[in-house]
């Protein structure tokens, strides 16, 4: 099984740890892939991308865990998703997350749709995502996130039901910001079970995410 967490925040945004501290903690727990995905908007996207790419490009190839470069487009005006995701992709970012319409933060209505219409890979904590947006995520091959993060996880079961209804891909993530957010692979799988997923569905998630990670590592 491809143990992973593709949603990590470092002190380059609102996290508590350096990217290296994050990586070593996940490595010690047996993870095989992570992504550093700090929050960005127009104020910091270029400096954050430069720092994240510098770290990821220098991560030793002989260590048995890959570290992918990423960003999370967070609380931005709807019209900024497309230009910012395009900029990140051109700079070489591997994992682009859109901060979805979680029910525990004030998020601009229409954010799920705007993020999905841009070049993203993951829609994080999409809250009470609509049928239309769930279908759009399927068409765009975007993962909907099931998260272990307190608060954002309140709608995990709803997201699972929506994904089942339309055949949309899911991803299990941690949205880690501080050391206590970092959980074991077994605990992450338990988050999936609590959201209503069965063993077959979780195996499919790990297969789909594993293929995505392998493609990004090429």
Write down the domain spans for the chain: 4-216
d(C-alpha 114, C-alpha 88), whole Å: 16
The first and second tokens of residue 190, run together, are 């338990």
What pLDDT was estimated at residue 168?
98
End-to-end CA, the chain:
19
Q: What is the CA radius of gyration of the chain?
A: 16
Which pLDDT tens digit goes with each residue over 27-51? 999 999 999 999 999 999 999 999 9
d(C-alpha 143, C-alpha 189), whole Å: 16
Give helix 156-166 / helix 131-140 axis angle, nearest 10°: 60
Q: 1 pLDDT band (50/70/90 cuts)?
A: low
What pLDDT was estimated at residue 99?
98
What pLDDT was estimated at residue 2?
74
Which pLDDT tens digit goes with each residue over 165-186? 999 999 999 999 999 999 999 9
Burial 92-118 (b: 16+ CB within 10 A, else e): ebbbbbbbbbbeeeebeeebbbbbbbb
Residues 6+ apart with CB under 8 A from 79: 114
Strands 66-73 and 95-99, bridge-based pairing = parallel
Which pLDDT tens digit goes with each residue over 100-154? 999 999 999 999 999 999 999 999 999 999 999 999 999 999 999 999 999 999 9
Res. 214: pLDDT tops 80: yes
Over residues 17-25, the mean pLDDT reads 98
Which CATH number, 3.30.497.10, 3.40.50.970, 3.40.47.10, 3.20.20.140, labels domain 4-216? 3.20.20.140
d(C-alpha 118, C-alpha 121), whole Å: 9
Q: Which residue has the tokens 């609509």?
A: 130
Which pLDDT tens digit goes with each residue over 61-110? 999 999 999 999 999 999 999 999 999 999 999 999 999 999 999 999 99
**Ramachandran angles phi, psi of 166, nearest 5°:** -120, 0
């Amino acid at each position: 099984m491809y143990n992973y967490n593709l949603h990590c925040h470092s002190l380059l945004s609102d996290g508590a740890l350096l990217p290296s501290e994050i990586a070593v903690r996940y490595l010690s727990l047996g993870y095989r892939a992570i992504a550093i995905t700090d929050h960005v908007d127009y104020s910091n996207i270029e400096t954050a991308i430069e720092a994240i790419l510098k770290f990821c490009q220098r991560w030793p190839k002989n260590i048995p865990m890959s570290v992918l470069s990423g960003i999370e487009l967070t609380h931005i005006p709807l019209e900024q998703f497309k230009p910012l995701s395009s900029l990140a992709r051109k700079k070489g970012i591997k994992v682009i997350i859109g901060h979805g319409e979680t029910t525990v933060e004030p998020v601009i209505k229409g954010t799920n749709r705007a993020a999905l219409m841009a070049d993203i890979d993951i829609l994080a904590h999409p809250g009470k995502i609509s049928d239309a947006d769930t279908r759009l995520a399927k068409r765009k091959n975007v993962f909907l996130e099931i998260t272990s993060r307190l608060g954002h996880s309140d709608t995990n079961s709803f997201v699972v039901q929506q994904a089942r209804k339309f055949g949309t891909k899911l991803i299990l993530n941690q949205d880690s910001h501080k050391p206590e957010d970092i959980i074991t692979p077994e605990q992450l799988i338990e988050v999936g079970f609590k959201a209503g997923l069965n063993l077959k569905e979780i195996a499919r998630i790990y297969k789909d995410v594993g293929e995505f990670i392998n493609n990004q590592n090429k």
